[in-house]
Structure 1
Amino acid sequence: MTFISRRRLLLGGGAVALGMLQQTNGRAALPGPVPPRPVLLQRALSALDRHGATIKQRDVIGIVDFSQASRTPRFHIVDVMSGRSQSLLVAHGRGSDPDHSGWVERFSNSPGSAASSAGAYLVGSGYSGKHGRSQRLIGLDPENSNAEKRAIVIHAASYVSDDIVRTTGKLGRSQGCFAVAQTAIMEVLGQLGPGRMIYAAKI
């Protein structure tokens, strides 16, 4: 759990030091948890205000920083009032990273692209599918308006874990969904339930 002061959350702040990957005996050391970058927080809060008529639950938001590598805990769950946040691993779509470098190279809103999309999402209803407990997402911006048509959801995946980062230095890739660790899915769904917002960007 990381604490971000209310002033910093609302007004921005200094630069955030990012955890860097180190090699130890051929295995990658895990990057340390970091809070969301101030510029991304500002963008997310602006999106929260812009979509205020649609997003009814405004106490907790999710922020995905696609400017960071997949090995970094870049899915930030932020308590808007207290400023507290926690950061988790999340995979991006294979269409956004065709060479499997671990970095998002591009976004796409096109069906069949298997890419991640930027923008604000409304968290929809939950369901149980082939990945277990999952949560539907509704795209609120032009760049992710096809999220429902593309079946972009939050789900757990075996290719997202600390062990995979230690072994390969990066996560596996999804079909465009926000895939999190199997050990984290219930916590994510519990905090980012229906009516809340997830904001994804590469800045």
Structure 2
Amino acid sequence: MINFGRRQFFHSAIIGAAAFAAPGFAHDVIFQSGTGTPAGDGPSPILLARAKAALDTHRSRIHVTDRLAIADFSKPSRDPRFYIVDLKSGKATSFLVAHGKGSDPSHSGWVQSFSNSHGSEATSAGAYMVGETYFGQYGESRRLLGLEPQNDQAEARAIVIHPAWYVNRSLIQEQGKIGRSQGCFAFDQNDIGQILQQVAPGTLLFADKA
């Protein structure tokens, strides 16, 4: 696997409940930090199991089945909490990702709640299918289609993957957290190339708190 960061942390995520694990998936995941992010641990094993179950549930609509992405919003925004998991090798890479203003009105750096409502500027939980690439106000971005009732307005709300100036290590050093989006999955401009390369159209993206 390509080394995306200077520092690496290896962690085995043990899934205790076999009922949640889809057949054929690796149970041990080795975590590797993305560009500019410090080494960190992996996503919650509970979320990893839920993401695998979602991949199995939505398999008819998901074209990429050898990897998935997880946004673990149990963690603060200062942590690299977005994981791209290679299900064949059991390896994953982590990156910083912003959550929506409406999910954290006081800008604490932690997701307080989710919303699927128009105008909420909040993050929505659940399984998404990654859609087509487009060029918007932030540059190269990727659309998202919500697959569940709790996030089925994602496309109408223009919830997407995009780079943003307010997601970077300098802000964490200054204020202990990154900025907030309007509900989108916003990434460091230095990481977006890797994100778009690995989280291709047809990939499952799962977001939630453990």
TM-score, length-normalised on structure 1?
0.87
Cα distance in 2 between the residues matched to 1:181 and 1:5: 26
Cα distance in 2 between the residues matched to 1:119 and 1:47: 9
Note the alpha carbon deviations across 1:80-136, whole angstroms, 9 max, x for none. 111101110000000000000000001000011000000000000001110000000
1:129 is matched with which residue? Answer: 136
Residues 3 and 108 from structure 1, CA distance in 2 versus in 1: closer, same or farther, beyond 3 angstroms?
Answer: same
Residue 170, structure 1, aligned to residue 177, structure 2: yes
Structure 2 residue identity aligned to 1:144? N
Q: Where does the alignment leave 5 or more consecutive residues of structure 2 unmatched?
A: 1-7, 16-20, 29-36
Give the CA RMSD over aligned residues.
1.9
The 5 A counterparts of 1:1-203 are 10=25, 32-203=39-210
Q: Number of residues paired by the alignment? A: 187
Cα distance in 1 between the residues matched to 2:13 and 2:178: 32
How far the C-alpha of 1:35 sits from its partner, in A, is 1.6
How far the C-alpha of 1:167 sits from its partner, in A, is 1.0
- 3-state DSSP of counterpart to 2:109: coil
Note the alpha carbon deviations across 1:122-155, whole angstroms, 9 max, x for none. 0000011100000000000110000000000000
Cα distance in 1 between the residues matched to 2:177 and 2:127: 25
TM-score, length-normalised on structure 2?
0.84
2:32 is matched with which residue? Answer: none
Cα distance in 2 between the residues matched to 1:154 and 1:34: 23
Cα distance in 1 between the residues matched to 2:202 and 2:26: 25
Note the alpha carbon deviations across 1:33-87, whole angstroms, 9 max, x for none. 2222211110100000010111011112110001100001000010011110111
Structure 2 residue identity aligned to 1:130? Q
- 3-state DSSP of counterpart to 1:127: strand
Matched-pair identity in %: 52
Cα distance in 2 between the residues matched to 1:93 and 1:200: 12
Moved over 6 A (4+): none
